[in-house]
């Protein structure tokens, strides 16, 4: 029988509960957090994680009882509202749901829980991040008052990585269709632009010219950008539709900002374009 929702400090997401129970002494000694599904995650984040991960409210009591009977220490609760949270209120709902788990644990006579892990989902330097901070602070004040002495932790991923890296690609092919321009670049959805992990509306695209235009500034044209593979789905700007770009020549650069999260690390070598061979340069200023 598989029971979902228990994770440990070493992250055993959606684990088969009995494999945890039958684990060795070290696993029994580790402190576990019960991962819950964040309510409304599918409405408030671009990439909800709750279909695959997290206990439902009506599964919590049984999980805590199994843990207690097995001598496992569940010391708190974790949730992840989903990557790229867009509705701050989902954090409030998740904090409230976490508090309900603390209450169930208390009703079962367990040691008071001590840790709340509010997961990730944050984007740095955005208005919504400021709003999420306010929402989380007020939810914690309301549901986890100081006297509970709960340690609050988080697992930001994209927040740290996203803005740290800019991706420079080369224009390797051009097609003119009337006024419109279509560009092929040497990276695509099987490389740094994995469509399930990435949303092209999050990045900004800038053109950089290898040969500066001689006379006039280049014409601004409706453009589409394709990746290099044989797949017609390999369109880097698919989520943005047609975009306006200055007219580019072969070997010019297209530069994408905010490319540090879930980009190169999830790429493949499909069609021989090996994402891991893309060099990374670290610039100091």
**Residue from 155, 174, 239, 246 in contact with ligand PLP (CB under 6 A):** 155
Residue among 158, 151, 141 nearest 81 (CA): 158
| C-alpha distances out from residue 241 to 174, 177, 226, 264, Å | 18, 16, 12, 23
**Residue from 50, 54, 76, 121 in contact with ligand PLP (CB under 6 A):** 121
Residue 44 binding ligand PLP, by CB under 6 A: no
CB 208 → ligand PLP: shortest distance, Å?
28
| Shorter beta-carbon distance to ligand PLP: residue 157 or 218 | 157
Residue 83 binding ligand PLP, by CB under 6 A: yes
Give CA–CA dist 174/245, Å, rounded.
13
Residue 158 binding ligand PLP, by CB under 6 A: yes
Residue 159 binding ligand PLP, by CB under 6 A: yes
Any residues with CB less than 8 A from the CB of 265 and at least 6 apart, and which?
none
**Residue from 80, 92, 93, 99 in contact with ligand PLP (CB under 6 A):** 80
| Shorter beta-carbon distance to ligand PLP: residue 11 or 107 | 11
- Cβ neighbourhood burial of 181 (10 Å; 0-12, 13-18, 19+): buried
CB 156 → ligand PLP: shortest distance, Å?
5
Residue 157 binding ligand PLP, by CB under 6 A: yes
Give the position of tokens 């932790």.
153
Q: Using CA atoms of 180, 186, 191, 197 in order, give the dihedral in degrees to the nearest 10.
A: -30
CB 261 → ligand PLP: shortest distance, Å?
6
Residue 120 binding ligand PLP, by CB under 6 A: yes
Q: Is 133 a catalytic residue?
A: no
- Cβ neighbourhood burial of 6 (10 Å; 0-12, 13-18, 19+): buried
How many other CB atoms are there within 10 angstroms of residue 252's CB atom?
A: 21
Residue among 119, 104, 266, 114 nearest 193 (CA): 266
CB 120 → ligand PLP: shortest distance, Å?
2
| Shorter beta-carbon distance to ligand PLP: residue 14 or 170 | 14
Catalytically active residues are 230
Per CB under 6 A, residues contacting ligand PLP are 49, 80, 83, 119-122, 155-159
């Amino acid at each position: 029988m598989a029971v979902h929702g228990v994770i440990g400090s070493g992250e055993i997401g959606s684990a088969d509960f009995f494999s945890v129970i039958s684990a060795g002494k070290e696993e029994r000694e580790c402190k576990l957090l019960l991962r819950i599904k964040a309510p409304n995650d599918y409405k408030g984040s671009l990439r909800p994680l709750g279909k695959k991960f997290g206990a439902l409210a009506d599964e919590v009591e049984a999980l805590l009882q199994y843990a207690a009977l097995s001598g496992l220490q569940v010391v708190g609760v974790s949730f992840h509202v989903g990557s790229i949270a867009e509705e701050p209120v989902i954090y409030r709902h998740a904090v409230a749901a976490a508090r309900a788990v603390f209450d169930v644990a208390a009703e079962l006579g367990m040691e008071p829980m001590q840790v709340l892990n509010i997961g990730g989902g944050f984007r740095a330097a955005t208005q919504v991040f400021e709003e999420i901070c306010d929402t989380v602070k007020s939810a914690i004040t309301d549901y986890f008052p100081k006297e509970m002495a709960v340690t609050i932790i988080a697992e930001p991923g994209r927040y740290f990585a996203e803005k740290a890296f800019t991706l420079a690609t080369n224009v390797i092919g051009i097609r003119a269709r009337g006024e419109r321009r279509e560009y092929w670049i040497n990276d695509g959805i099987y490389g740094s632009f994995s469509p399930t992990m990435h949303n092209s509306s999050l990045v900004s695209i800038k053109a950089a010219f290898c040969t500066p235009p001689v006379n006039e500034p280049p014409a601004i044209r409706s453009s589409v950008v394709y990746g290099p593979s044989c797949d017609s789905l390999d369109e880097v700007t698919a989520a943005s539709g047609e975009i306006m770009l200055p007219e580019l020549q072969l070997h010019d650069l297209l530069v994408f900002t905010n490319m540090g999260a879930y980009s190169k690390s999830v790429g493949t070598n499909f069609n021989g374009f090996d994402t891991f061979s893309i060099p990374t340069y670290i610039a100091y200023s």
